[in-house]
Structure 1
Amino acid sequence: MAIDPNISEPRRVEIATVAVREAQAQKTGGKPMLDFEGESTPYIDYESIDVLLSLQHPRSPVHDEMAFYIAGQVMELLFKLAVTETRAATAHLEDDNIPAACKLLRRITKIEELLTTIWPMLETITPADFKGFRDYLGTSSGFQSYMYRALEFSLGNKNRAMLQPHRGVPSVYPELLRAFESPSIWDVTAKLLARRGYAIDPDHLERDVTAPYQPNASVEAVWLQIYEANDPANELFELGERLMDVAAAFTTWRMKHLVIVERIIGFKVGTGGTAGVSWLRSIIDHRFFPELWTLRTVV
Structure 2
Amino acid sequence: MAGRAGRQTRSGRQRVTDQNAPERAYTDFSQSLSYGDYLRLDTLKAAHHPITGAHDEHLFITVHHVSEVWLELIVRELRAAMTLLEGGITDAPLKMLTRVVRAQEQLTNAWEVLKTMTPADYLQFRHAFGQASGFQSASYRTVEFLLGNRRAVLLRPHEHRPDLHGPLEADLNAPSIYDLALKLLAERGLPVPDEILNRDLTQRPELNETVLESWLTVYRDPQTYWDLYELAEKLLDVEDNFRRWRFNHLTTVERTIGFKAGSGGTSGAGYLRGVLSVVLFPELWEVRTRL
In the aligned structure 2, how far is the partner of 1:176 from the partner of 1:45?
32
Deviation at 1:179, TM superposition (A): 1.5
Which residue in 1 is equivalent to 2:27?
34
Which residue in 2 is equivalent to 1:283?
275
Within the candidate set 256, 261, 266, 1:269 is matched to 261
Does the CA contact (< 8 Å) of 2:205 and 2:282 recur in 1? no
Which residue in 2 is equivalent to 1:121?
113
In the aligned structure 2, how far is the partner of 1:124 from the partner of 1:253?
17
Q: 1:1-299 counterparts in 2 under 5 A?
A: 31-37=24-30, 41-231=33-223, 234-299=226-291
Does the CA contact (< 8 Å) of 1:158 and 1:213 recur in 2? no
AA in 1 matched with 2:102: K
Deviation at 1:251, TM superposition (A): 0.3
Does the CA contact (< 8 Å) of 2:218 and 2:225 recur in 1? no
Output one character per residue of 1:213-260: Cα deviation in whole Å (capped at 9) or x when no partner: 222222111111111225498111111110000010000000011111
Deviation at 1:29, TM superposition (A): 5.2
- Relative to structure 1, the CA distance from residue 87 to residue 28 in structure 2 (aligned partners, 3 Å threshold; closer, same or farther) is farther
In the aligned structure 2, how far is the partner of 1:182 from the partner of 1:88?
15
Which residue in 1 is equivalent to 2:6?
none
Does the CA contact (< 8 Å) of 1:89 and 1:104 recur in 2? yes
- Relative to structure 1, the CA distance from residue 28 to residue 202 in structure 2 (aligned partners, 3 Å threshold; closer, same or farther) is farther
In the aligned structure 1, how far is the partner of 2:74 from the partner of 2:126?
28
- Which sections of structure 2, spanning at least 5 residues, go unmatched? 1-15
Larger radius of gyration: 2
In the aligned structure 1, how far is the partner of 2:225 from the partner of 2:93?
16
Output one character per residue of 1:18-45: Cα deviation in whole Å (capped at 9) or x when no partner: xxxxxxxx9995632111116x843223
AA in 1 matched with 2:123: K
**Is the partner of 1:83 in helix, strand or coil?**
helix
Deviation at 1:211, TM superposition (A): 2.6
* Aligned residue pairs, count: 273
AA in 1 matched with 2:227: E
- Relative to structure 1, the CA distance from residue 65 to residue 232 in structure 2 (aligned partners, 3 Å threshold; closer, same or farther) is farther
Does the CA contact (< 8 Å) of 1:251 and 1:287 recur in 2? no
**Is the partner of 1:82 in helix, strand or coil?**
helix
Does the CA contact (< 8 Å) of 1:232 and 1:238 recur in 2? no
Percent sequence identity over matched residues?
Answer: 40
Which has the higher mean CA deviation after the structures are superposed, 29-38 or 143-152? 29-38
AA in 2 matched with 1:149: R
Deviation at 1:290, TM superposition (A): 1.3
In the aligned structure 2, how far is the partner of 1:52 from the partner of 1:27?
38
- Which sections of structure 1, spanning at least 5 residues, go unmatched? 1-25
CA-based RMSD: 1.9
In the aligned structure 2, how far is the partner of 1:169 from the partner of 1:27?
58
Does the CA contact (< 8 Å) of 2:205 and 2:280 recur in 1? no
Does the CA contact (< 8 Å) of 1:230 and 1:237 recur in 2? yes
